[in-house]
Amino acid sequence: MTTLFSSYRLGELALPNRVVMAPMTRVRAAAGGLATASMATYYAQRATAGLIVSEGVQPSLVGQSNPGTPGLYTDEQVASWRPVTDAVHSNGGRIFAQIMHGGRVSHPDTTGHRPVGPSAVAAEGEVFTPSGRQPAPVPRALATEEVPEHARSYADAARRALDAGFDGVELHGANGYLISQFLSSNANLRTDRYGGSIAGRIRFAVEAVTATVEAVGADRTGIRLSPGTSFWGAEEDDALALNTALLTELSRLGLAYVHLELTADDEVILALRRTWPGTLMVNPVRPMGPKQTGRAEADRWLGLGAELISFGRAFISNPDLVERLRTGLPLAPVDEATYYEGGDAGYLTYPAYQHTA
């Protein structure tokens, strides 16, 4: 019988369990987008996960969304990540880098550049900047001839990720960032080959994934999607048809996995499960909702056909989450005030479960 603690073969990786640490922005990189010693400790503490997916890592300066996030577009950034991946591997773990291009969810005060997007339509809400939250600016719409360069940026970052010691990469195609913006029915108003029809709107995602597969191999490449998303105002008004078409195209590539967030009804997610022939990873609670993923939600989606289950917030405050889930130990609560920035407090200071006599 398959359980959360059954082993799983993911490409060339032998996962000891099916618990995945989901990507979570923690905003603790050093100047220049460099990974730090604290980041090495943070990820190494959680290396008992079957797989770790890192926080979002920008593939270019213009692709940076938030201040204080790490990159994979300079030699210095690559070198800074090697102690992180070494620490995870030394503790017996496996780690993919999530490649995240923010697109329109950015600000000139953060990058020195005007954000870019599929169309000149601002994201909804306020974005983080070095001086605090500010309204999302109107991005510059990419010219048709510029779009392939941004698709290739994922592949370029993926090459650097492998140079830095990562076991693979996950393209962030969810939550209203650049790939999601191209998929969107209201953020993408283009009339060229990258917009309009479903075939046009999925083209950027397919090109980005294809380039990455060509760069590092299909078994080292995954993608995260949020069907029917409305993050940052990027909506998909035809989520089932859109994501079915996308997964049908991606199925030809033999990816390591598709990672779905529960941003649509179960019926949509289950239909996409039937469409996708490969490994499916599911994050089984609504992102940023009041409930965190627990054993019951994980077991339910394993029963519904997912092979891997990702846990987000529970991993922040429970570095030993796998053991707590295995033995039924209570989960420690998380301090939301220390999600972002804040140094090592609320980052490295959550202990493993303390047994009492």
The confidence score (pLDDT) of residue 356 equals: 61
Instruction: Name the residue ranges covered by the structural domains of the chain.
Output: 8-338
At 104-130, the pLDDT tens digits run 999 999 999 999 999 999 999 999 999
The pLDDT value given to residue 144: 98
Beta bridge partners of 141: 117
- Give the end-to-end CA distance of the chain in Å, rounded to a whole number: 34
Other beta carbons within 10 Å of 135: 12
Give the active site residues. Answer: 177
The answer to whether residues 225 and 246 touch, using CB atoms and an 8 Å cutoff, is: yes
Q: pLDDT at position 357, please?
A: 52
pLDDT tens digits for range 248-280: 999 999 999 999 999 999 999 999 999 999 999
Whole-number pLDDT of residue 323:
97
pLDDT at 12: 95
What CATH number does the domain located at 8-338 have? 3.20.20.70
**Low-confidence residues in the chain, pLDDT < 70:** 288-290, 356-357
User: Which pairs count as long-range contacts for 266-275, CB under 8 Å and 24+ apart, including other chains?
Assistant: 266/304, 268/227, 268/228, 268/239, 268/240, 268/243, 269/227, 270/304, 270/305, 271/240, 271/244, 272/227, 272/240, 272/243, 272/244, 272/247, 273/304, 273/305, 273/306, 275/244, 275/247, 275/248, 275/251
Cβ contact 221:271 at 8 Å = no
Give Cα separations from 14 to 7, 70, 260 (angstroms): 7, 27, 21
pLDDT of residue 293: 80
Please tell me the distance from the alpha carbon of residue 111 to that of residue 114, in angstroms, as a whole number.
8
Structure confidence at residue 294 (pLDDT)? 84
